[in-house]
Each structure stands twice: as C-alpha cells, then as structure tokens.
Structure 1
Amino acid sequence: MRISEKLQQAHAVSNPPPATFSFEFFVPKTSQGVQNLYDRMDRMYDLNPIFIDITWNAGGRSSSLTNEMVYTAQSALGLETCMHLTCTNMAVELIDEALAKAYESGCQNILALRGDPPLDGSDSTGDFKYAKDLISYIRQKYGNHFNIGVAAYPEGHPEENDDDQVLKYLKEKCDVGADFIITQMFYDVDNFISWCGKLRKIGINIPIIPGIMPISTYAAFIRRCKWSEIKIPQHFLDALEPIKDDDYLVRDKGTELVSEMCQKLIDSGFVNHLHFYTMNLERATIMILENLNLIEPAKSHEVIGGSLLPWRKSLHPQRTKETVRPIFWQNRKHSYVSRTATWDEFPNGRWGDSRSPAFGDIDLSATDLLRQSPKKAFDLWGTPQTVQELSQIVVSYLKGDLSSLPWSDGPIGDESQVMVDNLIKLNQKGFITMNSQPAINAVKSKDKTYGWGPKVGYVYQKQYLEFFCHQSLIPTLLQKIDEYNNKNDANSSILTYYAVNKEGELSTNTKEDDINAVTWGVFPGEEILQPTIVEKTSFLAWKDEVYRLISEWSKIVQSDVVKKTGAKEEELSQFASLMRSFGDEYVLCNLVNNNFIDGNGFIFELLSNLTS
C-alpha cells in the first residue's frame, strides 16, 4: 500500500489520532550482516511500524542488494517497504532496472533522492541532475503507482546558504509529484516547528515526517551532528557532556531527551508520524517508543487493510490472496517464500491444487538455505559429537539460550511455552523436536499469545508435533498409534501421522489427498478461516529441505573459515560422521491430535513410553 494512504487510514481511527512510526535500515556490507538484519527487521515487525525504508547504494552488488532486500522485506517479512533511489551518476538504464524490480516485488514507495555529488567537485555524469528530474521521470513511466517521498532539510542545505532558496527547491519537488517528506535528522525542535509553519505557508501540504536519530553513544552523536551540520541544543550538551564516557548513561539520557523532543513534535500539530534512523540497531529506538507509549497501542491496533493470519502475510502482488500455508515452514518463512515463488498456485481455497509441476523446487545456495555463515553456525551450535549433544542444543534453544536452530530461523515463540517442559524431556530421551503447536479450544481472537484475525472471534488449534525419531522405534510408534485409534474410534483416526526417511519412504494413516486443517478461526459474519494445514505433498517437499539442511550444516562447518578458528580436526570429522549417520538413521515424523479438546499431554506421553 502507498505510504500516504497508510498514514491517512492509520490517523483516521480516533480523535486525536494515534502517532505512528517507521524505521530506516541501511544495506550491510557482509552477507551475514544481511541475514542478521533480516532477523532484526523481523523482530521489529512486531512493533507494527507503518513502513520501513531501505537505503540505496549506487553501483555494483550494493545496488542490486537494495532491490533484493526490498523483495525480501515485502515478500517474506510482510513489511511495507520504501526503497531509496538516488540519481547522481546513475544512467537511466540503472534507474529503469531498479524501478522495475521494485514494481515486481510489490513495492509501491520510493524515496527519490539526488544523492551525494562527486567527491572531486565535478559534475554528475548521470542522466538526472536533481531529485525533481527523477520524480518527473518516475511519474512519466509509472503514473501514480509509486508513492514518492523526498528529502528535506529543516536547518538548511550545506550547498545552499539561502534558506528561502532551499524552500523553493523543496516546493519544486512537491509540485512535480512528491507525496510525502522525510527530513534530515535534527535536535532543535523549536526550529523544526517554525520550519513546518513556513512549508504550510508556501503551499506544501503533503505529510511532513521528521527524521529521528536516537542517541546511542556520545561520540556517534557528536560525529553525526557535525557531519550533517545540524545545531545541538545547549540543554542536550549540558546533559550529555558530563556522562560522555559512560555509554549506558548516555543512551538512557539520550532516550529521555529525544523522547521529550518527539512528544513536543507530536503536540505541535504538524507531526503525527515519526521516522527513526535505526542505524540497524533496535534497542535505542525501542526505548524511545516505550517512553512515548507508542508500542502497546501499535500492537493492539487492528491492522488496516485485511485480517491478520497466524502466519506473516506476504505483500508481494502475486501472494496477496494467499490464505493457506503448510505448517512445516512455520519457522522458515524465507525458504517457504523462495520455494513457492514459482508454484502455479499456493495451497489456497478449499484447498486449491498444490500439485504444481514446480512444487518442491528450490534454488538456494547452501548458506542461503541455512541462513548462517560458517563461522556464525559454528559459534551458535558448535560441533555436537553425539545425538545427546545434538539434543542438548535443541534444549538450549527451548530454554531461550539460543536464538535459532538450523531448522528454525528465530527464537522459540510464546505459544510454545505451555509445552516447553515436555519438549525438553522429549529431546532428553533422544527425540529431536523440530516444530510444534499446542491445542487450543475457543480462545478469543484478541488473545495476545494465540489470537489472530478479526478481534471479535474465536480461534482453535490441533496439537501438532514434528520430530526426528530413530528408525528402530518407528514400528513400535506406529503400532501404538494404531492401537490407540482402534481403541477409541475404529472409523477414523484421532491421531494422524506422516513418517518419512531421507530416501522418501513414507508411512502414514491418512488418505492420498487428505488435507488436515490444524488451525482455524470462527468470526461473526465470515466463513471459517483455515489458514494452516498438514498434507502429504508439501510434507515431502519439506522433508527434502530438512535433510538437506542437516547435510549443509555439516558441510559449512568443515570450511576453512571454521578451521581457522582453531576447531579441532578430529571434532569436525566426528561431527560430519554424526550428521551422516543421523540423516541415514533418523526418520522425520509429524503427529496431529485431531481431538483438539484433549489438551497437550497425550502425544508426549505416547512418545515417552517408547523409550521408558
């Protein structure tokens, strides 16, 4: 959605309207930095920003990486994204390529910038001299598809001493098609408010979004102010100078000062949205939002433009109607979005057809699939030498001591807490748990942990458990499941299962085309929504990914990068041997307890008894 429209809708819900916010991120220099930033963006999504923007780095790999990050933010993370685009020294062909990629990814917002002139003082060699030329070109090529933002300088521009001329240049950018303004950082709030009045007086009536730079350290604060040639209010210096050598005190006092500044902006009547220059950090920005009491209202505010789902909805134009996903990719949405980008259909409708000839194809490099660099994988998970050590890694994750696993991109979710003790016990008995969800029965859709969808409704879940089990236990496990089902209901299966080894040999008590909804919601005046499913074809595709993850984890830890850390050769060799035998001897299983009012104990009891 266009930013100006999102702002208009968000600020129309009450009187006075709630203040909203957005975040800026820059393109990291390393591939691992990019992956870590995705994780940070993913966490900050939960704060419910109106949008994020991603800076532009002209030329070579950096500029294409901007487009890739915009695509990932839109498609995998579901974040409304604004792409920076600078035109200095940019040939029109590069501008066309960048705009086309943004268009294809569903991005509808561009921050059109001139960019820094050549350092040697020579004229730009690109096809556009000023930002207004770029805006005119975008309007000519794409009409009103893109919402176009422009930069502004409340304290003047370093290349122009005449403030009235700077305002004239801004008015020209607005007149050729700008939709909103994002300003340079500043700390002189009185000057900013006065400047806003000047803009309104000369007929600039589009949204003015102040750029807010949190204060993390004194040295960075002074350096950025000098670099941007902005005024530091005396009371900022008086408060920060005495504590400049204590970064924690500086951040706390800086948070207080910037929070007061933001509140004054909101109270001025010119501003109802704050744009934070995060510098790819999160804590300082979150502290300001907490001080302003903006986080909880944002979390509880009903999302504009559609119902929430229990998984993150993609904003890619080809995926906007997607309403169903297999549960297997619950913790790996990046690979799910990449895998399904070429599917003819998503498993939608009731249920649609997921048997596309492209289904199951995935074209990711090893590090993309694992989403960790060799060194980061080694630092996170080490080189377990036995299955018991492998299970201990999972236990550490379940306790919150690890932020991810090879098959789980983020930390354990709140909804799993009701089962954590049982999951830990299961891993200690030699099972390796992969994914799970608890049974819930008619929980209100506004519940903070389990709720989703329209606020007046109820949601339900069947207990789901996915795990690795040694092949020697599989016959007994399946026998116990059959005995339980026959004892309780000979006509249907209360417990349904899939069990498959690396070669694809599958055992199941479901029918060929069974599709089992394991999450659903009931809402007044609407059809029952069933957004999370278990079914055979996608499970087999997931199986391929999981066994490949195990193989890739083993391979990247053998890299020269890890060996240079001093890792022992014999430990690396034993780890590789463990991963090979694990892939050969362990079977990927999932169980669904279709009796959703049965609680969450029986599946764990069943599995525990196998090894008692």
Structure 2
Amino acid sequence: MKLTDKINNRLRSTPYYTLEFFPPKTEQGFANLLTRIHRLSQFQPLAVSITWGAGGSTKDRSLELASICQSEHGTETILHLTCTNVESGTVQSVLKAAKDAGIQNILALRGDPPRGAEYWIPTDPQFNHASDLVAAIRSSPEFSQHFCVGVAAYPDGHPDQEVDEERELANLKRKVDAGADFIVTQLFYDVDAFFAWERKVRAKGITVPIIPGIMPIQNYPSFLRVVKLTGSKVPDAVHKALEPIRHDDAKVKDYGVMLATSMVQRLTNSGVVKGVHFCTLNLELSVRKVLERLQWTVSSPIPPVNKLIDDSTQAASKSEPEAHLLITPESAVGHLTVHPPSDTTNVGKGELNDPSTWDEYPNGRFGDAKSPAYGGVEPWDSTLASSHAEAIAKWGNPKTEADLTALFLAHLNGHINGTPFWESPLSPESRLILPHLRRMTARGWWTVGSQPAADAVRSDDPILGWGPVNGYVFQKAFVEFFASREDVDWLERSAKTKSGGLVTYFAGNAEGEWATNMLDESGNAVTWGVFPGQEIAQSTIIERDSFLAWKEEAFRIWAEWSQFYPPESPERTLLEQMRQERWLISIVHHDFKDPNGLWHFWLDGRESSNGSDS
C-alpha cells in the first residue's frame, strides 16, 4: 500500500512511526538484521525504510533487504533511491525491480556526488537533482501510478553549507511540485527550530505530510560524527547534559532514549506532527524503549518467522557471540582503541538469552562482524566527512610519496587534527607508542590504527582504563598501516619463521587480493576486561570479515580523497597510484606482557632485512 494511503486510512489514535535500516556489510550481519526486523515488526510500524549507498554502492543489498521486508515480513517498505553518480539505466532498472517486488514507496534523493564535486559530471545526465527523479517517476506510464514518492528536507539547513535556507525551501517546493507525496526530514535535535522551519515550509504552499527524522543518541563519538555529517544544530542543553557522561556509553544511551522520547512527545502533542521517522542504526533497544515510554507499542503475537530466514540464515543467527561475551564497542577508525560501555549489567544476557539486548551499542569496525550494526555509525554510505575546502586546508596538495609521509607525520605530531583515514587528533592511548608510530611512518609505512600492549591496567586508569571500577583491562598490541607488496611478502615469511608464533596478520589491496595466517572462522579479541562479579568483557575484535569490510572502506577513502583534485593533476595521479599499489596491513602481537614485542618484530626485523630474508 502507498504510505500516504496508510497515513490517511490509519485507525489507531496514537501517532504513526517508520523505522530506517541500512544493508549490513557482512553476510551474517544481514541474516541477523532479519531477525531484528522480525522482532520490531511486532510493534506494527507504519513502514520500514531501507537506505541506499552513495552512487548505488549497496544497490543489490538494498533491493534484497527491501524485498524481504515487503514480501516476507508483511511490512510496508520505503526504498531509498539516489539518482546521481549512477550508471545510465540504473534508476529505471531499480524502479522496475522494486515494482516487481511489490514495493510501492520510494524516497527519492539526489545523493552525494564524489567529494571533488567541482570536477564531477553526472553519469546519467538526466538526473542532477532529486526533483529530476520525482519528475521521471511521475512522467513514466509504467511507474507514475504505482509509486508513492517521498523526498528529503533539512530543518537545520542543507549539509552543503553553500545552500541557504531560502534556496533550500525553493528546492523542496520544486520537488513537491514535481509530484512528491510526502517529506522525511534529516535528523535534528532542536524541536523549536523544527517548528519554525515547518511554518516556513507551509508558508510556501507545501501541504504534503512532513515526517520528522529522529535518531536516538547511541554513544558520544557516533553522535559527534553524525552531527558533523548532517550539519545538525544541537541545543546547548544537550551538550551540557552529555559532557559529564560522555565516556559512559550506557548513560549516554539512556539519555538518548530520554531525549528522543521528549522530542517525540513535543512534536506529536503539538498537533502539527502526525508521525515520526526513527533512524535506528540497525540497533533495536533504544527504539524499543522510546516506543514503550510513549506507549506506542502494540500488544500482538509476533508473526511467524518469514520463510526466507531459512536453515542457513538461522544457523548464521545462532553463530552470534556466546552469551557470556559482551561485545559493545564504540565506533572508531584510525588511532583510537575501542572500549565497551562502563555499564555491564547485561553481561550474560546476549543473543542466546535475550535477543532484544544483544549488541546494542554502535558497532564500529572493531566490533563483531556478525552484528547487523557492524561497521556503521550512521545510515549513510559515507567515508570522508570533510568538505573540499576543509580537505585542502588540512591535507594540502600532496604530489609525492614524501608529501604523504609528511602529512601522516604531521598528524602524529599534532600539527593537523586528522588524516582522511581518521579525522580526529591522535588518541592519548596511541601517544604511549608515539615513537614507534613516528618511526614506522617516517619509513613510508603510513599508520592508520594502533594500540599498545597492556597487562592488568586498572579500569580507572585515565588513559587505558574503561568499564566498572575495581576492574583490570588487558590489550594486545596491534598496528595497521599502508605498505608495499614487498612488505607483505616479508611479513608472510617472517610470521612463520621469526615471530615464534606470536604474530597474526591480515593484508589486502584494492584489487581484492588478501593474505592472512589466521584460520577462516577464527576471531582475535585484542582488548578485554575483568571486573568484580562479572564475566570477561571483550571489546576489540580483529577477524577476517571485519578486516575485509574495513579494507574496502579504506581503499574507497583513497578514491574519494583523490577526487578533491582535478583529473590528471599530480595530486590525483599520486593518490590513485597509491590506491593501486599499496596494501593495507594489520598486525597483532599476542604477548600482551611484552610491550615491545610487536615493534621488535616489525620495525627491527623489517628494517634489518632491507627487503631480504637476512
């Protein structure tokens, strides 16, 4: 059914809501998301929406997930669809596939061009704006009557700061005039600002339903990144409330539930808003708590599990973490170690015991690759968060490998606040091994992630500590960096002959080649904690699927970075060459009692070899 028909025909007195999911990066994460959607379907959301990666990067998975939700879960589905930077004919083929799957709702988006936007030409020239996509659907004899079409709006202003409010309102009016049936807004945290914006929208003569986007805050780092990416304006009261609890994931999450509940109550009690759109980040618990506090949950039996969750899917679901492992990391890419929340009251209540509470923190790339939320902290297929002007100001115009080495060293030395692979200053933890990182980077082994070894450090340690008080934390040293094929060859030989069995590694390149000495299904917990009266908590995991997913993202960053510069420029030529030639290497040293074991193996061993086995 079309979303607007469901809105108009709604019988329940409570406001409606929709739920947003993104296609997981791994097969097991995809299977486990189906069970998560199945559980949430008992609350009878008006619809679920499935996001679409930039340039159609998640096309097949987005279509598959949307089709399952529509046909097997019996849940009305909204498929996001971006129209720029896609191959000619993609839009028409996706619309046909969506129609064949019974999907009747499309969220028509422009999508983001590559970061070097001033050098970008749309691949399919008929689509430059979301209004072009709306108009194409409405003018098509095949699709015009079948699809209900929604569009996006930006209460806090468009993320592209060059688009002022009046121009953005005119763009929204153009999309609605082209045939849009409803509007879903970008997430926001300032309700008063939303009401002011909504009045301006209505003053433009726009009468279609407006559905506000709500994203419960999950943890502090992901909140900051999302705010930066979206340009959302955050009230001072929210910042002040988060500041004293920012290091405690559980408290931040509870505050996020409280804030989201309060926002939704204000929005829906106003009489202006009839429903809201929850950005879930593929997480379940916060949304469930908000719905329960609002008393919007529906008491009804869970419908039968759909037939597509077959034996293989169920087997994948059962392979989730054992109940006694707490795997709840903050998100990180780069020189940042990932820690679980300090509240470990749910230890022993994992997927095998209580599915609704398993893995309920943003699951960055160091988390469990079986998680539906693995690898993502926001619902967009986004890598670089910097604009073109910001990137040039921070990273300049590298034209040689020496320039790149100087750039990575500048980050280590605190002269710049980030690299394209980690857009934040070096963490205090990585500063403990700064001489080793400088030495590696100076040799052209550009480091992007690391942590020192730690043996029974108190959990209240200001740099390495995490979790409840009176506990102890442990870490294996690891480092990730870009290197040459020759370095990979040396690593493969030396891990066998010179490491004493204490070194494991992953290595991969942009062409899909990869190497490891890890068993296919083995995982490597490199950070864990022991706390009074609780079972061991593991937070940082390095294993095959997570490395391969991160490898793809890392080499996509090289490609996006290159597009800040004109075609055939020395900068773009260099960055494209590095993407093709370099390998991403991740090395772990398993003797956590030896703080120098990793560095002795790689730095001393590799430097003394001079590219040979000597």
List aligned pairs for 1:582-597, cutoff 5 A.
none
- Select which of 254, 262, 267 maps to 2:264: 262
- Select which of 48, 51, 64 maps to 1:52: 48
Provide the C-alpha distance between the structure 1 equivalents of 2:219 and 2:351, rounded to a whole number of angstroms. 26
Provide the C-alpha distance between the structure 2 equivalents of 1:174 and 1:49, rounded to a whole number of angstroms. 25
Provide the C-alpha distance between the structure 2 equivalents of 1:60 and 1:234, rounded to a whole number of angstroms. 37
Residue 140 of structure 1 deviates from its aligned partner by: 1.9
Letter matched to residue 376 of structure 1: S
In structure 2, the residue corresponding to 1:245 is in which secondary structure?
coil
CA contact (8 A) 1:375 1:561 kept: no
Provide the C-alpha distance between the structure 2 equivalents of 1:202 and 1:402, rounded to a whole number of angstroms. 50
Residue 92 of structure 1 deviates from its aligned partner by: 3.8
Provide the C-alpha distance between the structure 2 equivalents of 1:25 and 1:59, rounded to a whole number of angstroms. 18
CA contact (8 A) 1:118 1:124 kept: no
Residue 61 of structure 1 deviates from its aligned partner by: 7.0
Shift in CA distance, 56/79, structure 1 to aligned 2, threshold 3 Å: same
- Select which of 113, 122, 125 maps to 1:124: 122
State the match for 2:156 in structure 1. Answer: 155
Letter matched to residue 308 of structure 2: H
Provide the C-alpha distance between the structure 2 equivalents of 1:282 and 1:189, rounded to a whole number of angstroms. 24
Letter matched to residue 136 of structure 1: A
CA contact (8 A) 1:188 1:233 kept: yes
Provide the C-alpha distance between the structure 2 equivalents of 1:190 and 1:87, rounded to a whole number of angstroms. 32
Shift in CA distance, 165/563, structure 1 to aligned 2, threshold 3 Å: closer
Shift in CA distance, 143/271, structure 1 to aligned 2, threshold 3 Å: same
Letter matched to residue 149 of structure 1: G
Counterpart check, 1:140 vs 2:136: no
Letter matched to residue 333 of structure 1: K
Counterpart check, 1:184 vs 2:186: yes
Shift in CA distance, 155/32, structure 1 to aligned 2, threshold 3 Å: same
Provide the C-alpha distance between the structure 2 equivalents of 1:237 and 1:61, rounded to a whole number of angstroms. 34
Provide the C-alpha distance between the structure 1 equivalents of 2:8 and 2:252, rounded to a whole number of angstroms. 36
Residue 158 of structure 1 deviates from its aligned partner by: 3.1
Counterpart check, 1:73 vs 2:75: no
CA contact (8 A) 1:21 1:275 kept: yes
Shift in CA distance, 79/187, structure 1 to aligned 2, threshold 3 Å: same
Counterpart check, 1:62 vs 2:61: no
Residue 267 of structure 1 deviates from its aligned partner by: 1.7
Counterpart check, 1:6 vs 2:15: no
In structure 2, the residue corresponding to 1:46 is in which secondary structure?
helix
State the match for 1:37 in structure 2. Answer: 33
Letter matched to residue 123 of structure 2: T
State the match for 2:98 in structure 1. Answer: 102
- Select which of 13, 23, 27 maps to 1:27: 23
Provide the C-alpha distance between the structure 2 equivalents of 1:3 and 1:212, rounded to a whole number of angstroms. 18
Provide the C-alpha distance between the structure 1 equivalents of 2:200 and 2:288, rounded to a whole number of angstroms. 31
State the match for 1:561 in structure 2. Answer: 520
Greater radius of gyration (CA): 1
Residue 123 of structure 1 deviates from its aligned partner by: 3.0
Provide the C-alpha distance between the structure 2 equivalents of 1:103 and 1:271, rounded to a whole number of angstroms. 30
Provide the C-alpha distance between the structure 1 equivalents of 2:235 and 2:116, rounded to a whole number of angstroms. 33
- Scaled by the length of structure 2, the TM-score of the pair is 0.51
Residue 369 of structure 1 deviates from its aligned partner by: 3.4
Provide the C-alpha distance between the structure 2 equivalents of 1:138 and 1:208, rounded to a whole number of angstroms. 20
State the match for 1:586 in structure 2. Answer: none
Residue 283 of structure 1 deviates from its aligned partner by: 0.7
Provide the C-alpha distance between the structure 2 equivalents of 1:221 and 1:97, rounded to a whole number of angstroms. 36
Provide the C-alpha distance between the structure 1 equivalents of 2:278 and 2:51, rounded to a whole number of angstroms. 13
CA contact (8 A) 2:42 2:302 kept: no
Letter matched to residue 217 of structure 1: N
Letter matched to residue 241 of structure 2: A
Residue 237 of structure 1 deviates from its aligned partner by: 1.3
In structure 2, the residue corresponding to 1:137 is in which secondary structure?
helix
CA contact (8 A) 2:31 2:317 kept: no
Percent identity of the aligned residues? 41
In structure 2, the residue corresponding to 1:334 is in which secondary structure?
coil
Residue 376 of structure 1 deviates from its aligned partner by: 2.2
Q: Which moved more, 1:255-264 or 1:79-88?
A: 255-264
State the match for 2:307 in structure 1. Answer: 333
Provide the C-alpha distance between the structure 2 equivalents of 1:2 and 1:166, rounded to a whole number of angstroms. 26
CA contact (8 A) 2:55 2:111 kept: no
State the match for 2:542 in structure 1. Answer: none
Residue 377 of structure 1 deviates from its aligned partner by: 7.5
Shift in CA distance, 268/91, structure 1 to aligned 2, threshold 3 Å: same
CA contact (8 A) 1:151 1:181 kept: yes
Unpaired runs of at least 5, structure 2: 324-347, 357-517, 526-614
Provide the C-alpha distance between the structure 2 equivalents of 1:220 and 1:190, rounded to a whole number of angstroms. 24
- Select which of 288, 291, 294 maps to 1:286: 288
Of Structure 1 and Structure 2, the greater helix share is in 1
Residue 224 of structure 1 deviates from its aligned partner by: 1.1
Shift in CA distance, 104/217, structure 1 to aligned 2, threshold 3 Å: same
- The structure, 1 or 2, with the larger RCO (C-alpha pairs under 8 Å, 6+ apart) is 2
- Select which of 85, 95, 118 maps to 2:81: 85
State the match for 1:604 in structure 2. Answer: none
Residue 228 of structure 1 deviates from its aligned partner by: 1.2
Shift in CA distance, 565/229, structure 1 to aligned 2, threshold 3 Å: closer
Provide the C-alpha distance between the structure 2 equivalents of 1:228 and 1:565, rounded to a whole number of angstroms. 34
State the match for 1:428 in structure 2. Answer: none
Letter matched to residue 114 of structure 1: R
Letter matched to residue 118 of structure 1: P
Q: For residues 100-130 of structure 1, give each alpha carbon's deviation from its aligned partner in whole angstroms, at most 9, with x where no partner exists.
A: 1100110000000000112112232223100
Provide the C-alpha distance between the structure 2 equivalents of 1:108 and 1:265, rounded to a whole number of angstroms. 27
Residue 233 of structure 1 deviates from its aligned partner by: 0.5
In structure 2, the residue corresponding to 1:287 is in which secondary structure?
helix
Shift in CA distance, 241/143, structure 1 to aligned 2, threshold 3 Å: same
Provide the C-alpha distance between the structure 2 equivalents of 1:25 and 1:373, rounded to a whole number of angstroms. 19
In structure 2, the residue corresponding to 1:169 is in which secondary structure?
helix
Q: For residues 64-114 of structure 1, give each alpha carbon's deviation from its aligned partner in whole angstroms, at most 9, with x where no partner exists.
A: 111111111112221111000001112341111111110011000000000
Provide the C-alpha distance between the structure 2 equivalents of 1:564 and 1:226, rounded to a whole number of angstroms. 33
List aligned pairs for 1:589-608, cutoff 5 A.
none
CA contact (8 A) 1:182 1:209 kept: yes
CA contact (8 A) 1:240 1:254 kept: no
State the match for 2:411 in structure 1. Answer: none
CA contact (8 A) 1:255 1:288 kept: yes
Provide the C-alpha distance between the structure 2 equivalents of 1:60 and 1:236, rounded to a whole number of angstroms. 35
- Select which of 214, 235, 243 maps to 1:241: 243
Provide the C-alpha distance between the structure 2 equivalents of 1:378 and 1:174, rounded to a whole number of angstroms. 46
Letter matched to residue 68 of structure 2: T
Letter matched to residue 285 of structure 1: V
Residue 234 of structure 1 deviates from its aligned partner by: 1.1
Provide the C-alpha distance between the structure 2 equivalents of 1:231 and 1:158, rounded to a whole number of angstroms. 11
CA contact (8 A) 2:190 2:233 kept: yes
List aligned pairs for 1:183-332, cutoff 5 A.
183-295=185-297, 298-299=298-299, 312=303
Counterpart check, 1:369 vs 2:312: yes
Shift in CA distance, 233/60, structure 1 to aligned 2, threshold 3 Å: closer
In structure 1, the residue corresponding to 2:295 is in which secondary structure?
coil
Counterpart check, 1:115 vs 2:89: no
CA contact (8 A) 1:32 1:372 kept: no
Shift in CA distance, 332/189, structure 1 to aligned 2, threshold 3 Å: closer
Q: For residues 215-245 of structure 1, give each alpha carbon's deviation from its aligned partner in whole angstroms, at most 9, with x where no partner exists.
A: 1112211221122111110111121111111
CA contact (8 A) 1:108 1:145 kept: yes
CA contact (8 A) 2:322 2:352 kept: no
Provide the C-alpha distance between the structure 1 equivalents of 2:123 and 2:202, rounded to a whole number of angstroms. 35
State the match for 2:528 in structure 1. Answer: none
Shift in CA distance, 402/265, structure 1 to aligned 2, threshold 3 Å: closer
CA contact (8 A) 1:188 1:231 kept: yes
CA contact (8 A) 1:378 1:562 kept: no
Provide the C-alpha distance between the structure 2 equivalents of 1:378 and 1:150, rounded to a whole number of angstroms. 38
